[in-house]
Amino acid sequence: MATALMHPTYDPYVVGLSLLIATYASYVALDVARRVHESDAYAKRLWTIGGGLVMGSGIWSMHFVGMLAMSLPIVVTYDPWLTLASWLAAVAVSATSLRIASGERLARRTLVAGGVGMGLGICVMHYIGMMAMQLVPAVEWNDWLVAASALIAVGASATSLLIFFGLRRLHGLRRAQAQAGAALVMGVAICGMHYTGMAAASFPAGAHCIDVNGLGGHSLVAMVVLASVVLLSMTLFTSIIDTRLRTRAQYLATSLQEANQELAGANEALQRMAYCDLLTGLANRTLLEERLAAALDKVDRRMAMPGKRPLSRAALLFIDLDGFKPVNDSYGHAAGDEVLRQVAARLLGVVRGMDTVARIGGDEFVLLLEDVSGNADAVAMAERILDVLAEPYRLTGREAGLSCSIGVALYPEHGDRSQLTLHADAAMYASKRAGGNTYAVYEPHMHSSASEQMVLQQALRGAIARDELSLYYQPKMSRSGEPVGMEALLRWHHPELGTVDPDVFIPLAERFGLIVTIGDWVIEEACRQLGEWLRDGFRTCVAINLSAYQLRQPDLVERLRAALARHGVDPAQLECEVTETVAMEDTASTQRIMRELGELGVSLSIDDFGTGYSSLSYLRQLRVQQLKIDRSFIRDLDSSTDAHAVVDAVIRLAHSLGLKVVAEGVETTAQQLALLDMGCDELQGFLFARPAPASALNLKTANLSAASQPLAVTP
C-alpha cells in the first residue's frame, strides 16, 4: 500500500528572497574571483580563505532560506551539528571554486573536474541540510529528481567557472553589466538545483521532529538572512575599496614612472644644454675641457710608466672657417646656421668614435684626437678636414664655398696642459696669416702672441677675486639735454698691466669661457649700484650689455630676477642691450629669452644697429624698446652722405616700428644737431660726458618722482 505523504507549501516571498540571496552571493563571488586572480601570492591566499567563508555562507544561506520557505503541517527543526556540516560543505565548495579561478587559464580537464567536484559538493551541502531536518519516519527520495538536481549542480558549477574566466576580458561598464547578468544566471541555476532537490523529497504523513528544541522559526530566517547579507555586503565593500586602492596605487605608480621619465628627460635636456652646442649638437667648451683633461691625464699616466715612453699622444686641432662672415651677411643667419650644421656633420664623419668634435664659438671648432702617434697622424687629419670642408655647401636654391684654417698642437711636445689650447690657437692664427685654406703645426716662434694671451687669460681669471673689475657709467641724454639714464661700461685695471682695453679682454673672455662669470658680476654690480642710489634718493635707469654666451644660459632670467630682488631694484630700472649680430644669431632662442626678460619688466635694446644683418620680420618679433645706432655711422655723419642716409633711414624705420633710437659716440655739436634734426630720441657720447665710476658722478636729488634726475660728471 502506498505511503501517505504530507504535501508542503512554499512561501513565494521567502522563495524570492532565496533567489535574491543566490544572485547577490553570485555577484560577490564573481568580484572576489577577480580579486583572487589579480592579487599577489600572499593576498591571493587571504582572498581565497576569506572569500570561501563569505561565499560559502551566502550560498548556504540561500539553501537554508529555501528550506525554510517550505511549510509542513508540523513543526520542523534542524539539527545544529548537521546544519553546521552543511555550512562547512558550502565553504569548501566556494574555496575550491576560488582556487580554480586563481589560475591563468581554464583547461578542459580542470573545467570537468572542477564542475563535477563543485557540483557534488553543493549536493552534499544540500542533502546534509535536508538530513538536518529531524523527521521520523525519514524523508523518502525520488532518485530521478536527485540525479537531476546533481546534474544541475554540476552544470551550474561548470558555468560559474566559465563565467569567472570569461569576465577577465571585460573592463569598466561592460564588465559591471556582464557581471550583473552573470550573477542572475548563476542565482537562477543555484535556485533551480535547490528546488529540484527539494522536489525530490517526500515527507511521510505523521512524521514528526525528534527534537522540538532544534533550530527553526521565522526569527532564525531573519537572523540567517541578515547575517548573510551583512557578510556579503562587507565583502563586496572591501572588494570595491581594494579595487579603488589598487587603481589609485596603479595610477600613482604610473604617475611616478611618468614623472621619473620626465625627470630623466629633463636631466638629459639639461645635460645637453650644459655640455652640448644647441645649434650643431656638438660638444661645447665645457665638455671639451673635461675630455681634454681626461685625455691628457691618460697621456701623463703612460709617461709615468717606468722605462717606457708614452704609447700615445693627444692632438688638438683648432679650426676657423674662412669666408663664413660673407656667407652669413649675404645669405642671412638661417643660411649661416645651416652651413655650421653641415660643417659639424662633416667633421663628425671624419673622426673616430674616441675623438671629440666641439664648437666653441661662432665659426670656431676644435678637434681633440686621442691615441695619435705624433705629428703625422694629426697632419693627416688636418688634410682630410681641409678637403671635406672645401666641398660646396648646399643651401636652399644656392651653393656656398668655404675653406678653413687649422692650427695643430700635440701633447706633450707643444707645451704643458695649461698652454696646449693657446698654442693650437696660435698655430691657427699662423695659418690665417698664411692666407687661409691650410694648416700650421705649432712652432716656438708662434709663442709670443700665445704667451701674451696666456698671461692675460690667467690674470683675467682672478680679476673678480682681486677686485680689479669696475663699472663706469656714461649718461644718455634726451633731446632737451637732460639725462634719461646711463650705460654701464666694463673696465679692467690690472696693477701691473695697467688698464686693459675692453676690445682686448672681452674677446679673450669669450674665447676662454670666462664671459659668463664676468657677465654675472656685471649684473650683480649694476643692481647693487642701482640699489645704493635708490637708498640715497636717486632713481635712474642703467643699461648693461649681454653677450651671446649669456643668452645661451637657461637660468639667465632667474639670475637677473634674483639680483634685482636682492638689491630692491625695480626691473624697469634695468635695460639689457644685445648686439644686432647676437640678436639675429639664434632667433627662436633669442625671442624666448627676450620674451622672458620683457615679462620680468626689463627694457630691451638692440646695440650696434646697422653693423650686422637684420631681417625686418625678425626685428618685429623681438620684443625690444629701442635701437642704438653704431658709433661708426655717427662718426662719419659730418663727412659722409651715405652715413647720413643710413642714420636717417634707421631712425625712420625704428619710429615706424614704435621703437626709440639712441645714437652713441656723439662727439661734436654738428653731430648732435644733425641727429636732433632727424628726430633721434636719445644721445650718448663724449660731447656730454665721458664714462666715469659711480663715485665721480655728481647726483642731484631734486624732483625725485621723475624717472630720470639731473646728472653731472665731476671733471
Per-residue pLDDT, 498: 85
Q: Please measure the distance between the N-terminal and C-terminal CA atoms of the chain and give it in whole angstroms.
A: 146
* Range 434-468 burial, b when 16+ CB lie within 10 A, else e: eeebbbbbbeeebbeebeebbebbebbeebeeeeb
Reply yes or no on whether the pLDDT at 51 is more than 90.
no
Report pLDDT digits (tens) over 486-511: 999 999 998 888 888 888 888 778 76
Domain ranges of the chain: 5-249, 285-446, 468-699
Per-residue pLDDT, 705: 31
Report pLDDT digits (tens) over 199-253: 666 666 666 665 545 555 544 554 455 455 555 455 554 555 555 545 555 655 6
Residues 6+ apart with CB under 8 A from 503: none
In whole angstroms, what is the distance from residue 599 CA to residue 583 CA? 18
Q: Domain spanning 468-699: which CATH class is it, in words?
A: alpha beta
Q: Which of 95, 100, 125 is nearest to 114 (CA)?
A: 100
**SS3 at position 187:** helix
Instruction: Indicate the pLDDT class of residue 565, thresholds 50, 70 and 90.
Output: very high
Whether 73 contacts 6, CB under 8 Å: yes
Per-residue pLDDT, 714: 35
Per-residue pLDDT, 701: 36
Record the cell numbers describing residue 182, joined without a space. Answer: 552573470
Query: Considering only 160-174, 205-219, 567-581, which range has the smallest mean pLDDT?
Result: 205-219
Instruction: Indicate the pLDDT class of residue 85, thresholds 50, 70 and 90.
Output: confident
pTM equals: 0.48
Dihedral over alpha carbons 622, 627, 629, 630 (to 10 degrees)? -50
DSSP per position, 108-134: HHHHHHHHHHHHHHHHHHHHHHHHTB-
The CATH classification of domain 285-446, taken from the options 3.50.50.60, 3.40.50.970, 3.30.70.270, 1.10.1330.10: 3.30.70.270
Per-residue pLDDT, 489: 93
Same fold, 285-446 and 468-699: no
Half-sphere exposure of 169 (CA within 13 A, CB side): 5
